[in-house]
Structure 1
């Protein structure tokens, strides 16, 4: 009887051991299947991920253009003798997020060349009722950007530059407009001030208006003729870091990226410049302003480009950015037939975060898209969009392709980004020469 009991015990113990081994094996196989399915477009929640809070915090600390070399900006400022009696004022800019971002950087670069302080640049907001109308109400700096970061970074790079928000309280208006000669803003090197600066200094010595101190130098469009590469590659790559989008928009973007990571069981490292083998970013440019401009934004052609790029790189999901909600839904349905999920910022946010996004104006919502597209594994944009170009130009920091404009069929192409199609040669040339990344 004792032997039978002992045998029964061994049998029970063996069964329990097999059950435990089977459970472990099952969990292992489930994990493996889950990992496989993430790349075959079946979302899974089984894989362990960083907490949402941790992912967001770490993502906000790292940008696609890391590391930031502020010395490249300081070097230029040191070679432009300061003029404490001068303040630069740029007329308000117009356009979408890509245009306004580049305009802000051009205005700052203009102040650096003058060795002057500056009035915090402003711009016209897009009309709420007509997206094609860009000369709407005046937008303050914080409509798009982080004011505190901008002022602190400009001052750290160029300590002599003061940024004034209420110039009437600080300065006497000179009411004298200095012509912004195209020749003058083509700076040849950091060590040799441009002819424009020499002209400005001479004007102050000889002009009656220039002798009145202090004086405001007014500029219409400080960027239309400014060739951005003239300042050297280090300055070109780093000047954009003085601007950050407003913190609430960046937080919502980080939440969206965390949700993509969770939902599709990816392995996204929030500290990477670009996420590896994670998601495709696509800018669908079919909103009403593009239609009204007569650009004929071909939905089928754009979406074919983006789907094919996604398939070439074996990515499980597309993050789609765009201002036409109907077309975003059409895009999702079309891609699903090819075995690809498409998500957008409205799909990824919930609760108070989604309500916060709903309170943003149309262009402000684009800030969230911009940040998510920047860190995509692959990116596709449309040639008839400064937004598309600005994203691609910033991403090119981590590219190994020397000439992204060599593709005869597409305006911009490197191994991580493509701006599909072509526009007219003049517009493309100006966009390349004058847009800061």
Structure 2
């Protein structure tokens, strides 16, 4: 994701936007791919599973890392034997999740938050895998471990929320009683505070069962779809809880290591601080309210010129000379290079920094589309400066990751002030498009979709 959410050269997500004169469906793609270097090495983002040893000496986890999540779990009312399995109707059995990397990430994290609210254990889903030749076609299934560090996620949750029982990918052994919760469509309101628990209680009651009847020997499995954007952290006043959940989720370790090698190559080819730019210029990018390619070029050029003119050595020369651009369209990267290099920047891309590193380049070429996205993320999170696009899920996740350890909420403090809500998920940015944010992390904003109340 990440359109507002989600990562890589192109990530896809389906958004349905409502307008006053009627309703129409807008299909848009998403990308996924930053704080300064210490944060990135610590943060890599999204995964999950259950059980496990929390004392892995290679990556120790302390309960003090997740104080708000721990408090949330301590205050929840748990029902032994109640299980929640989230999906969005994908896969042969209709119990898988599908979507781009950011899309999947949100579904995973949201499912855990919903399970805590319901006082239920959670069953990890399978992912419907995409056909690299047609990203809207799903040709198989896999468990989350191919994209996410599920082992670490398991350990993190066992420390932060020991009450939450977790079963691995589609493990429903012994759960013979199953009921379907009402399927939540994208346009339906998101849950907050006690509303999801109330919905689950209603679901249980309609099946002729009550919570007191559920126990370890008489378990009940609830199938719930769709968790995408299904929990509103803003309405629930859970800024810090959302941060803690985000910190538990990381990408597949091997893919993240490839991303680190890309960033190491980028640093070797750079003369100093790096500004990373996430550009949406792929053929499937919808433009319009999501940000036309040429509008991005204009806004990014202005922001890069401003950065170069305001970060100076004592002798008046520019401090920032290197720009890394992430985009799934080589032609768009070339157009960006032609606009930015006259400003004095050296423009790098994944292809250029790996030009003489055949081993890493071939490993990345062998990856599937969503796996390659993970390798892009590291450079965007690790760069000294970042400029992205608020309607891209990748940009949103990167901006969130870069600022997750700071006080407050980046979006509430630096992006949303002075704005108002329009219909559905629309946010009105007076004077947009323009580039705003804090000193190191900025986003191009324009009136259109904004899902950060429920994302990542």
Using structure 2 for the length normalisation, give the TM-score: 0.69
Match of 2:332 in 1: 327
1:237 to 243, 248, 251: 243
- CA 1:296 to 1:118, structure 2 compared with 1: closer, same or farther past 3 Å? closer
Shift of 1:160: 2.7
Matching of residue 418 in structure 1 with residue 442 in structure 2: yes
Match of 2:197 in 1: 197
Match of 1:110 in 2: 114
Matching of residue 378 in structure 1 with residue 373 in structure 2: no
Shift of 1:290: 1.4
Match of 2:180 in 1: 177
Match of 2:297 in 1: 303
Aligned pair count reads 357
- Tell me the SS of whatever aligns to 2:85: strand
Q: What is the alpha-carbon distance in structure 2 between the residues aligned to residue 184 and residue 383 of structure 1?
A: 20
- CA 1:296 to 1:179, structure 2 compared with 1: closer, same or farther past 3 Å? closer
Matching of residue 154 in structure 1 with residue 157 in structure 2: yes
Q: Is the CA contact 2:124–2:170 (under 8 Å) kept in the aligned structure 1?
A: no
1:85 to 64, 67, 81: 81
Q: What is the alpha-carbon distance in structure 2 between the residues aligned to residue 129 and residue 203 of structure 1?
A: 40
Matching of residue 283 in structure 1 with residue 278 in structure 2: yes
Match of 2:253 in 1: 247
Q: How does 1:256-295 map to 2 (within 5 A)?
A: 256-266=262-272, 278-291=273-286
Gaps of 5+ in 1: 1-56, 188-193, 267-277
- CA 1:177 to 1:64, structure 2 compared with 1: closer, same or farther past 3 Å? closer
1:98 to 95, 98, 102: 102
Q: Which structure is higher in RCO with an 8 Å CA cutoff and minimum separation 6?
A: 2
- Tell me the SS of whatever aligns to 1:288: coil
Match of 1:359 in 2: 366
Shift of 1:202: 7.2
Q: Is the CA contact 1:280–1:378 (under 8 Å) kept in the aligned structure 2?
A: yes
Match of 1:143 in 2: 146
Deviations 1:190-229 (A, max 9, x none): xxxx144256457657853454621111111124342122
Deviations 1:86-121 (A, max 9, x none): 111001333322222112110111111122221113
- CA 1:171 to 1:185, structure 2 compared with 1: closer, same or farther past 3 Å? farther
- CA 1:385 to 1:195, structure 2 compared with 1: closer, same or farther past 3 Å? closer
Q: What is the alpha-carbon distance in structure 2 between the residues aligned to residue 184 and residue 418 of structure 1?
A: 27
Shift of 1:390: 2.0
Q: What is the alpha-carbon distance in structure 1 between the residues aligned to residue 296 and residue 77 of structure 2?
A: 49
- Tell me the SS of whatever aligns to 1:145: coil
Q: What is the alpha-carbon distance in structure 2 between the residues aligned to residue 254 and residue 118 of structure 1?
A: 32
- Tell me the SS of whatever aligns to 1:280: strand
Match of 1:8 in 2: none
Q: Is the CA contact 1:126–1:137 (under 8 Å) kept in the aligned structure 2?
A: yes
1:404 to 399, 415, 418: 415
RMSD of aligned Cα (Å)? 3.2
Matching of residue 125 in structure 1 with residue 129 in structure 2: yes
Q: Is the CA contact 2:324–2:348 (under 8 Å) kept in the aligned structure 1?
A: yes
